[in-house]
Structure 1
Amino acid sequence: MSDARPPFPPFDLDSAIAKVQAAEDAWNTRDPHKVSLAYTEDSVWRDRHRFFNGRERIVEFLTAKWERELDYVLRKSLWAFRENRIAVRFQYEWHDADGRWFRSYGNELWEFDERGLMRRREASINDVAIDESERRYFGPRPENERGAGHDIALR
């Protein structure tokens, strides 16, 4: 299991929080190849109105995303979990090439295989234009906030 990604399902509260924090950390690197390794080779994705499968397409999608969404910084919070599934709420901020800032809000549904790799990701996302003065996030989550901000609706 050289490609395994702990923690593994079935998730408990601590392991679900750790999985969400690991995802946030990886996405904040803005490294499409690194991020893609957390997904199965044939992972199924829905992101907004896009549907695709597999790591190669994940890398293509994320590369284009981070070329368009500049200075991207993300916060995720655990919403609910059960067995091999996790629901997440998130916000991220970014600006376009013209310097216009946005905050994107969304929800994700994740399903994992026994190796802790995500085999399904469904994301619903809305973008809101903000003034640069309204920004909340200026880099990765500070150490004293790691694992914080989780709303548990279901265990």
Structure 2
Amino acid sequence: MSRPPLPPFTEASATLKARIAEDAWNTRDPERISLAYSEDSWWRNRSTFVQGRAAIVEFLAGKWERELDYRLIKELWAYTGDVIAVRFAYEYHDAAGQWFRAYGNENWRFDQDGLMTHRHASINDVAIEESERKFFWDTSGPRPADHPGLSELGL
């Protein structure tokens, strides 16, 4: 199975890969998302370590049971060969209605088929008031092309 764009990355293909990942994660569909990762993909997400597609699906299903009305924006930070680094922010609320904005960085490594073999994510959550939210689009689809990115929002 091939998941273009494939390495070695250019600025354009790395930017596209980040946007494809953003769009997929905004579906909140763990099965669909897991197909972008190699069968034995290895993750560090905060202090949690996950390996393999089945574990990725389980991890993501639990994530979105807790993180409600999730909206994510990713932005290319750097790239070379088969590695991409992105910065991101996402907003969500918990079951009690408290809103959060999570900020983070991810380092990705890909195989020759464009599947991610490694994902290292460092993430910090900041409680925000609902009036401080910056991400507004219908959660049934990806971020619209005219919605500002992280740099345009000053994040």
Same-fold call, TM cutoff 0.5:
yes
The one of 71, 76, 81 aligned to 2:69: 71
Corresponding residue number in structure 2 for 1:141:
143
Q: Quote the offset at 1:31 in angstroms.
A: 0.3
The one of 83, 92, 100 aligned to 1:94: 92
**Equivalent-residue separation in structure 2 for 1:19 and 1:57 (angstroms):** 22
Q: Quote the offset at 1:94 in angstroms.
A: 0.2
**Equivalent-residue separation in structure 2 for 1:59 and 1:32 (angstroms):** 5
The one of 29, 43, 49 aligned to 2:47: 49
Which blocks of at least 5 consecutive residues in structure 2 are unaligned? none
**Equivalent-residue separation in structure 1 for 2:10 and 2:23 (angstroms):** 20
Alignment partner of 1:89: what SS? Answer: strand
Alignment partner of 1:62: what SS? Answer: helix
Corresponding residue number in structure 2 for 1:33:
31
Q: Quote the offset at 1:144 in angstroms.
A: 3.2
- How many percent of aligned residue pairs carry the same amino acid? 62
Alignment partner of 2:113: what SS? Answer: coil
Corresponding residue number in structure 2 for 1:8:
6
Q: Quote the offset at 1:72 in angstroms.
A: 0.4
**Equivalent-residue separation in structure 2 for 1:76 and 1:17 (angstroms):** 9
**Equivalent-residue separation in structure 1 for 2:102 and 2:95 (angstroms):** 16
Moved over 4 A (4+): none
The one of 97, 108, 113 aligned to 1:110: 108
Q: Quote the offset at 1:145 in angstroms.
A: 5.1
Number of aligned residues = 147
In structure 1, give the amino acid aligned to 2:145. E
Which blocks of at least 5 consecutive residues in structure 1 are unaligned? 151-155
For residues 106-136 of structure 1, give each alpha carbon's deviation from its aligned partner in whole angstroms, at most 9, with x where no partner exists: 0000000000000000000000000000000
Corresponding residue number in structure 2 for 1:153:
none
**Equivalent-residue separation in structure 2 for 1:149 and 1:93 (angstroms):** 12
**Equivalent-residue separation in structure 1 for 2:79 and 2:103 (angstroms):** 20
